[in-house]
């Protein structure tokens, strides 16, 4: 088993958030394509001789990024729900598997090996189909993977 995969599973289990935790864990994993993990306009922290201070600073950055990710996921879910509502009101299917594949491809291109897992977690969080093709609901509101 790949160390990163094991680490992702452990992080997901520890946070208790399922697929969204996998998303966050994968997004935090190093990527060959990534040039910066800092929010726009934020300077990198100055390394200190105190590891605890360095860890605390990095955790502040992570906490800020997590808040941004959560807000973006909420916005994405609302947009996906709107697309689903429009599609089903005109007689269309609840999900669009070809669109899901486009999203998975986009994430794979952007994040490398972790991209497909991240995309599937997001799609599942939006109430779309999971990798096995079965419907997944994350809340009582109707959301979708309409993207």
Q: What is the pLDDT of residue 94?
A: 86
Under the banding of pLDDT at 50, 70 and 90, the label for residue 74 is very high
Q: Which of 37-46, 65-74, 97-106 has the lowest mean pLDDT?
A: 37-46
User: What one-character-per-residue DSSP string does 39-101 give?
Assistant: PTTPPPPPP-S-HHHHHHHHHHHHHHHHHHHHHHHHHHHHHHHHHHHHHHHTT--S--HHHHH
Q: What is the pLDDT of residue 13?
A: 39
Q: What is the pLDDT of residue 40?
A: 66
Q: Which two tokens stand for residue 106?
A: 């986009």
Question: What domains appear along the chain, each with residue ranges and CATH number?
Answer: 50-147 (1.20.59.10)
Q: What is the pLDDT of residue 50?
A: 85
Q: What is the pLDDT of residue 133?
A: 42
Q: What is the pLDDT of residue 67?
A: 98
- Mean pLDDT across the stretch 80-107? 94
CA distances from 66 to 20, 23, 129 (A): 11, 11, 24
Q: What is the pLDDT of residue 115?
A: 97
Query: Is residue 1 scored above 60 in pLDDT?
Result: no
Residue 130 sits at the vertex; the CA angle it makes with 83 and 2, to the nearest 5 degrees, is 130
Q: What is the pLDDT of residue 110?
A: 97
Instruction: Please choose, from the candidates 20, 8, 18, 38, the residue with its C-alpha nearest in 3D space to the C-alpha of residue 77.
Output: 20
Percentage of the chain lying above the pLDDT 70 cut: 54
Q: Residues 84-93: contacts with CB within 8 Å, 24+ apart? A: 84/127, 84/142, 84/143, 84/144, 84/145, 84/146, 85/142, 87/144, 87/146
Count Cβ atoms below 10 Å from residue 17 Cβ, excluding itself. Answer: 16
- Mean pLDDT across the stretch 5-28? 46
The alpha carbon of residue 147 and the mean position of all alpha carbons in its chain are separated, in whole angstroms, by: 14
- DSSP 8-state class, residue 128: -
């Amino acid at each position: 088993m790949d160390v990163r995969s094991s680490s992702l599973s452990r992080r997901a289990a520890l946070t208790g958030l399922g697929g969204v935790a996998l998303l966050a864990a994968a997004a935090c994993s190093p990527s060959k394509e990534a040039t910066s993990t800092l929010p726009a306009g934020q300077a990198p922290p100055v390394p200190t001789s105190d590891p605890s201070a360095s860890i605390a600073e990095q955790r502040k950055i992570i906490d800020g990024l997590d808040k941004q990710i959560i807000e973006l996921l909420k916005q994405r879910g609302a947009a996906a729900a709107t697309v689903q509502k429009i599609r089903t009101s005109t007689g269309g299917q609840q999900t669009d598997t070809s669109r899901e594949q486009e999203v998975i491809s986009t994430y794979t291109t952007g994040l490398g090996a972790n991209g497909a897992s991240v995309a599937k977690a997001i799609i599942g969080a939006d109430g779309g189909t999971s990798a096995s093709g079965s419907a997944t609901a994350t809340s009582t509101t109707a959301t979708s993977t309409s993207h």
